[in-house]
Amino acid sequence: MTRHLDLALTLAALGWHVFPLAPRDKRPLANCLSCRDNPECSRGDYAVCPCLPDGQWCHGVRAATTDPDRIRTWWRRRPDAVPAIAAGPSGLVLIDLDAHTERLPSDPAAELLPGIRLIGDQVSGDFTGVRTGRDVLLLLARLRGGPRPWPTDPGYQPATVTTPSGGRHLWYRAPHVPDGRRLRQALGQLGWQIDIKAGWSYGIAPGATTVTGHYQRTAGDPARVGRMPEWLAEEVLRVAIDRPAPPAAPALAASSGSGCSRSAAYLVTVIDNGAAELAALTDGRKSSLSALAYKTGGLLAWSGLSRSSVEDRLVTAGTVSGLPERLARRIVHRALTNGLARPLAEPKGQVRPTVNSY
Ligand SMILES: [Zn+2]
Ligand SMILES: [Zn+2]
């Protein structure tokens, strides 16, 4: 589809960092075999990956580029690929407003806007009109945005896209982030059916078409993306600032080289590799975390590690990837329990143990 190549080139010329997705599942095109088997790469140490400087599309969003030659090469190889945009490298934040026909959360006053108490005199307790992420964002605007939450000045106009499922994408210029911190994605943490894609997370390029339909630009100009109203920037920073990397848990790592601690180090490496993969995912995070916790459960008895130590590490992997903590804990608990009930044989594969993987 030359239309996607043209779109990718047009956005790249505006500084939007582009990379290719598979047209069916909207996941990044698969890594080459050597990246898949290379423990450094799969742990997320992209500095050692020969494919990235070589212009391959390995590692999904990490390959995102504005280089037109690279983009042409990719789409010559995969003309049907769907262009996606890496938010952070492009200096953008995507506010992704879903319109799933889900039932309201069981306790809407507490769950529509996690972390914000919906107080009676500002918001009535009747949430029956709330259906979509857009409704929830309007609710937040009413609470936090003052009398005129949406400035009409074009400097505040996001590039706005209607998604095939009836959702909405608002591409904003990334707000200023305090020194030493970065933005990351936050799924459902700002509000029910609201995801924030920032840092190394991504969204379908405005104007692209997937098997589910067209991402139709409806307002705003990708050449002049506006900034968020100040109240919204504050709320985004509240939920989408990265956390400091978790400690390397030295008690878990191998030091003596005994068989037992080597088994422990093996499992830690499995978890850390899985955590790095998880952090790079946008879709499928819940099932990936579940699969990782299941495998960990299967190896736990053999490793000699305690359940609580791996459980915390897995939950952290989930929250760092952007899942709400309660959800991550629930997924990990269930999958770990199931995995423990089905112990795996001692692994034969070679995973290089590492002491400090984060
Ligand atoms: Zn590769
Ligand atoms: Zn690689």
Closest ligand to the CA of 31: 1
Domain carrying residue 159: 92-240
Report DSSP state, residue 125.
Answer: S
Distance 162 CA to ligand 2 centre (A): 34
Residue with tokens 């995969």: 78
Give the tokens for residue 50.
């020969």
- What is the pLDDT confidence band of residue 135, given thresholds at 50, 70 and 90? very high
Same-domain check for residues 107 and 77:
no
Do residues 185 and 197 touch, judged by C-beta distance below 8 A?
yes
**pLDDT, mean of residues 172-183:** 91
Same-domain check for residues 81 and 113:
no
Distance 35 CA to ligand 2 centre (A): 4
> What pLDDT, on the 0 to 100 scale, is given for residue 260?
57
Distance 194 CA to ligand 2 centre (A): 32
- What is the pLDDT confidence band of residue 156, given thresholds at 50, 70 and 90? very high
- What is the pLDDT confidence band of residue 119, given thresholds at 50, 70 and 90? low
Write out the H or E segment, with its range, that includes residue 94. strand 92-97
Distance 274 CA to ligand 2 centre (A): 15
Give the tokens for residue 103.
């039932």
Q: Compute the chain's Rg from CA coordinates.
A: 22
What is the sign of the dihedral through the CA atoms of 30, 273, 316 and 93?
negative
Confirm whether 347 is domain-assigned. Answer: no
- What is the pLDDT confidence band of residue 348, given thresholds at 50, 70 and 90? low
Domain termination site, one of 55, 86, 117 = 86
Residue 350 has pLDDT above 60, yes or no: no
Give the tokens for residue 247.
């400690």
Same-domain check for residues 109 and 217:
yes
Confirm whether 356 is domain-assigned. Answer: no
Residue 275 has pLDDT above 60, yes or no: yes
Confirm whether 167 is domain-assigned. Answer: yes
Confirm whether 199 is domain-assigned. Answer: yes
Same-domain check for residues 46 and 164:
no
Do residues 211 and 160 touch, judged by C-beta distance below 8 A?
no
Per DSSP, what are the bridge partners of residue 82? 21
Distance 47 CA to ligand 2 centre (A): 9
Give the tokens for residue 121.
């005199």
Tens digits of residue pLDDT in 3-52: 999 999 999 999 999 999 998 888 999 999 988 888 888 777 888 888 98
Same-domain check for residues 100 and 60:
no
C-alpha to C-alpha distance for 269 and 310, rounded to whole angstroms = 11
CA dist 102 to 95, 97, 106, 193, 265, Å?
A: 19, 13, 11, 9, 42
Distance 93 CA to ligand 1 centre (A): 27
Domain termination site, one of 61, 86, 111 = 86
- What is the pLDDT confidence band of residue 355, given thresholds at 50, 70 and 90? very low
Residue 325 has pLDDT above 90, yes or no: no
> What pLDDT, on the 0 to 100 scale, is given for residue 244?
63
pTM equals: 0.71
Confirm whether 348 is domain-assigned. Answer: no
Same-domain check for residues 183 and 208:
yes
Distance 116 CA to ligand 2 centre (A): 41
Distance 354 CA to ligand 1 centre (A): 21
Same-domain check for residues 41 and 97:
no
Give the CA angle between residues 132, 224, 8 to the nearest 5°: 80
Tens digits of residue pLDDT in 246-274: 554 544 543 334 455 778 878 888 888 78
Same-domain check for residues 267 and 308:
yes
**pLDDT, mean of residues 91-101:** 93
Same-domain check for residues 217 and 286:
no
Q: State whether residue 46 is helix, strand or coil.
A: helix
Per DSSP, what are the bridge partners of residue 197? 94
Distance 207 CA to ligand 2 centre (A): 29
The pLDDT mean for the chain works out to 87
Distance 33 CA to ligand 1 centre (A): 7
Closest ligand to the CA of 276: 2
What is the sign of the dihedral through the CA atoms of 23, 60, 227 and 10?
negative
Closest ligand to the CA of 62: 2
Do residues 173 and 232 touch, judged by C-beta distance below 8 A?
no
Residue with tokens 């590690």: 305
Distance 342 CA to ligand 2 centre (A): 32
Distance 241 CA to ligand 1 centre (A): 30
Write out the H or E segment, with its range, that includes residue 84. strand 82-86
Q: How far is CA 207 from the centre of its chain?
A: 21
Q: How many domains are contained in the chain?
A: 3
- Per the model's pLDDT, the better-predicted residue between 354 and 66 turns out to be 66
Ion ligand 1 contact residues with beta carbon within 5 A: 32, 35, 51, 58
Distance 8 CA to ligand 1 centre (A): 21
Same-domain check for residues 132 and 269:
no
Give the tokens for residue 114.
């996690």
Give the tokens for residue 278.
């998880």
- Per the model's pLDDT, the better-predicted residue between 322 and 77 turns out to be 77
- What is the pLDDT confidence band of residue 242, given thresholds at 50, 70 and 90? confident
Confirm whether 248 is domain-assigned. Answer: no
Q: Specify which of 126-140, 278-292, 340-354 reaches the highest per-range mean pLDDT.
A: 126-140
Q: How far is CA 83 from the centre of its chain?
A: 17
Residue 168 has pLDDT above 80, yes or no: yes
Same-domain check for residues 213 and 186:
yes
Between 6-20, 86-100, 208-222, 309-323, the lowest mean confidence (pLDDT) is in 309-323
Confirm whether 296 is domain-assigned. Answer: yes
Confirm whether 142 is domain-assigned. Answer: yes
Domain termination site, one of 65, 86, 107 = 86
CA dist 356 to 11, 170, 175, 254, 310, Å?
A: 38, 38, 32, 10, 15
Closest ligand to the CA of 38: 2
Cα end-to-end distance, the chain, whole Å:
39
Same-domain check for residues 188 and 234:
yes
DSSP 161-216: EE-TTS-EEEEEEPPP--TT--B--EEEEEETTEEEE-SS-EEEPTT-EETTEE-E
> What pLDDT, on the 0 to 100 scale, is given for residue 28?
94
